[in-house]
Amino acid sequence: MSGLIIDSDACRGCGICIKSCSYEALEMKDKKAQVNENCVLCGMCIESCPFDAIKIEKEKTNGIELEDYKDIWVFIEQNDGEIEPVSYELLSKARELSKERNCSVNALLLGEDISKEADKLFAYGANKVYISEYEILKDNLEEIYVEFLDKVVLDYKPEIFLFGATNFGRSIAPRIAARVKTGLTADCTILEIDEESGLLNQTRPAFGGNLMAQIVCPEHRPQMATVRPGVMEAVKKETNTKEVINIDMPSIKEPSIKILENIIEKKAESISDAEIIVSVGRGIGSQKNLALVERLAELLGGKVGVSRPLVDVGWADQKNQIGQTGSIVAPKLLVTFGISGAIQHLAGISGAETIISINTDKDAAIFTVANYKVVGDCVEILKSMISKLEKKCEKEQVV
Ligand SMILES: Cc1cc2nc3c(=O)[nH]c(=O)nc-3n(C[C@H](O)[C@H](O)[C@H](O)COP(=O)(O)OP(=O)(O)OC[C@H]3O[C@@H](n4cnc5c(N)ncnc54)[C@H](O)[C@@H]3O)c2cc1C
């Protein structure tokens, strides 16, 4: 039996646990505490019970042999035959992790007429590419993919399975995790192998980004995680071993959905891929000063990014917002003006190569991640940078 267990012999019916429960999951029956379906296994009642009458029992390994699970697998998402960039980012991370696990990096590529893409996957670190090419896999039909991947997990037993936190990845990964009875950590920002246990340490922002939670999955397999596009770096590095393995389509019941036509939505211009970003926060003071930011971005050939308060007050569009609830960016150069560096903002800029930050507060958190720190007024510095760049451009007659 698993779940919250109340030892009725030890329970004295004091009711302290009932008061401690925020979920109304405990009630008194025949002078003994009893648990109902509201229980989320938070454990507060265990700490509150003065008689040690409550415990949580968890099913151990779900009947599987952990040692049977090997290698790091990456689900390669394709749309219309084109591989999503996040897949390369995940392969690069998988290659890094595989060194510590001394295992193979396996890319799983499903689609129609897709095998020509395998070389690109080797270039980013895949040792083996598992391919299945069928017309039905052309459209990313969730129910087909979930059944297929469920079968892959049962047959090949990946130790770690990574997915991009795209709309599609977010939709299929939890369903697969539920089917194979394992855990899934969504939107990880850091993935590392724990030196002692060899487990995958999966770090993600929690409680509105106010703390970083480190999650492990010690007793179930695969260890599954999704990672948002742009969080990890895609690094080209070919592996020596290259193997292509074809997987047959498992027998899957007819999908309940039929795609009649694919209408590709025009992608909103995103700052995620920008190489240079001039980013601005509340320290800019007034909306009219944003014109200075736009001008500097223009002179540098970059795009404008903003912190969330500027979106909240309607000074900027959400598509320009950087951070946990905005875009994750990884520019070569990021210049920030009047941004404090709240954890939710920092969550979006960890991939930036060089950060120059301007802030009047010498202790601003943004300075902990900046490569170049300028303590000063952002409007003055903006004007000065614009004037210098304009003069330089005049000389060179560029802009
Ligand atoms: C669930 C959740 C999700 C969130 N998601 C995001 C997100 O995706 N992105 C995001 O940005 N925020 C997000 N936030 C908000 C976040 O917590 C911060 O409130 C926000 O990032 C602060 O923005 P800011 O740095 O522009 O403003 P402030 O924190 O007010 O900082 C302004 C900075 O400007 C400096 N300054 C003032 N005057 C000047 C001047 N003249 N010259 C130079 N510097 C000056 C100040 O010293 C200060 O450091 C989220 C919050 C929550 C709870």
Break the chain into its structural domains and give their ranges: 3-57, 66-246, 276-396
Helix (H, G, I), strand (E, B) or coil at 205: strand
More confident residue, 64 or 11: 11
pLDDT of residue 49: 96
Asked if domains 66-246 and 276-396 share a fold, the reply is yes
Q: Residue 257 has what pLDDT?
A: 84
With cut-offs at 50, 70 and 90, classify the pLDDT of residue 173.
very high
- Residue 295: what pLDDT? 97
Tokens of 18: 């009932």
Q: Is the dihedral of CA 251, 254, 257, 263 positive or negative?
A: positive
Q: Which of 199, 162, 172 is nearest to 86 (CA)?
A: 162
Mean pLDDT across the stretch 126-137? 95
- 267 C-alpha to center of ligand 1: Å? 27
Residue 182, amino acid: T
Which pLDDT belongs to residue 266? 67
pLDDT band at 36 (very low <50, low <70, confident <90, very high): very high
Q: Ligand 1 pocket check: which of 318, 339, 377 to mutate, most ligand atoms within 8 Å of Cβ?
A: 339
Question: In angstroms, what is the span from residue 325 Cα to ligand 1's centroid?
Answer: 13
Total H helices, total E strands in the chain: 10, 21
Output the CA 338–ligand 1 centroid distance in Å: 8
Q: Domain 3-57 maps to which CATH number in 3.90.1150.10, 3.90.740.10, 3.30.70.20, 3.30.540.10?
A: 3.30.70.20
pLDDT (average), residues 67-72: 96
- Distance from Cα 328 to the centre of ligand 1, integer Å: 16
Would strands 211-215 and 200-206 be described as parallel, antiparallel, or unpaired? antiparallel
Find the range with the poorest average confidence among 78-87, 230-239, 358-367: 230-239
* 92 CA → ligand 1 middle, Å: 32
User: Mean pLDDT, the chain, as a whole number?
Assistant: 92
Q: What is the rounded CA–CA span in Å between residue 29 and residue 140?
A: 51
Residue nearest to atom 52 of ligand 1 (CA): 208
User: Strand order of the sheet with strand 303-306?
Assistant: 303-306, 276-280, 333-337, 354-359, 372-375
pTM strictly above 0.75: no
CA dist 299 and 16 (Å) reads: 66
Rounded distance between C-alpha atoms, residue 340 and residue 31, angstroms: 55
pLDDT of the residue at 255: 83
Distance 378 CA to ligand 1 centre (A): 14
Give the residues surrounding ligand 1 with Cβ less than 6 Å away.
208-209, 281-283, 285, 307-309, 321-326, 338-340, 342, 344-345, 348, 358-361, 364, 377-378
Under DSSP, the state recorded for 137 is G
Q: List Cβ neighbours of 195 (8 Å cut-off, separation of 6 or more).
A: 100
User: pLDDT value at position 247?
Assistant: 95
pLDDT higher than threshold 80 for residue 23:
yes
Concatenating the DSSP letter of every residue in 62-107 gives TT--GGG-EEEEEEE-EETTEEPHHHHHHHHHHHHHHHHHT--EEE
* Alpha-carbon torsion angle 17, 18, 22, 26, nearest 10: 110
Mean of pLDDT values over 193-211: 86
Retrieve residue 359's tokens.
Answer: 């802030």
Pocket test for ligand 1, best of 189, 282, 286, 378 (most atoms within 8 A of CB): 282
**Helices in 128-228 by DSSP H: which ranges?**
142-156, 167-179
The protein residue with its alpha carbon nearest to ligand 1, atom 39, reads 283
Do 119 and 236 touch, CB atoms closer than 8 A?
A: no
CA 219 to ligand 1 centroid distance, Å: 40
Alpha carbon of 340 to ligand 1 centroid (Å)? 5
Residue 64 CA, ligand 1 centroid: distance in Å: 47
Q: Which of 336, 360, 375 is the best mutation target for the ligand 1 pocket, counting ligand atoms within 8 Å of the beta carbon and taking the most?
A: 360
Nearest CA, atom 31, ligand 1: 340
The stretch 184-200 carries a mean pLDDT of 95
Kindly provide the b/e burial profile for residues 352-362, where b requires at least 16 CB atoms within 10 angstroms of the residue's own CB. Answer: beebbbbbeee
328-353: pLDDT as tens digits: 899 999 999 999 999 999 989 988 99
Residue nearest to atom 53 of ligand 1 (CA): 208
Q: What is the dihedral of CA 55, 58, 59, 65, to 10 degrees?
A: -130
pLDDT digits (tens, 9 = 90+) for 220-260: 999 999 998 878 889 998 888 889 999 998 888 888 888 88
For the record, the structure tokens of 246 come out as 């074809």
Per the CATH hierarchy, to which homologous superfamily does domain 276-396 belong? TPP-binding domain (3.40.50.1220)
Choosing from 204, 306, 324 the residue with most ligand 1 atoms within 8 A of its CB, the one to mutate for a pocket test is 324
- pLDDT greater than 80 at residue 289: yes
Cα(281) to centroid of ligand 1, in Å? 6
Q: What's the whole-number mean pLDDT along residues 302-306?
A: 96
Closest ligand 1 atom, residue 358 Cα? 43
Atom of ligand 1 nearest to the CA of 323: 8
Domain 66-246 is found in CATH 3.40.190.10: no
Q: Which residue's alpha carbon is at the smallest distance from atom 27 of ligand 1?
A: 282
**What is the atom index within ligand 1 of the atom nearest the CA of 339?**
25
pLDDT higher than threshold 70 for residue 209: no
Tell how far CA 60 is from the center of its chain: 27
Going by alpha carbons, the residue nearest to atom 2 of ligand 1 is: 208
Higher pLDDT, 44 or 238: 44
| pLDDT-above-70 percentage for the chain | 96
CA dist., res. 91 & res. 310, Å (int): 35
Asked whether the beta carbons of 302 and 352 are under 8 A apart, the reply is: no
pLDDT band at residue 89 under the 50/70/90 scheme = very high
Arithmetic mean of pLDDT, 180-202: 95
Taking a C-beta distance cutoff of 8 angstroms, is the pair 169, 142 a contact?
A: no
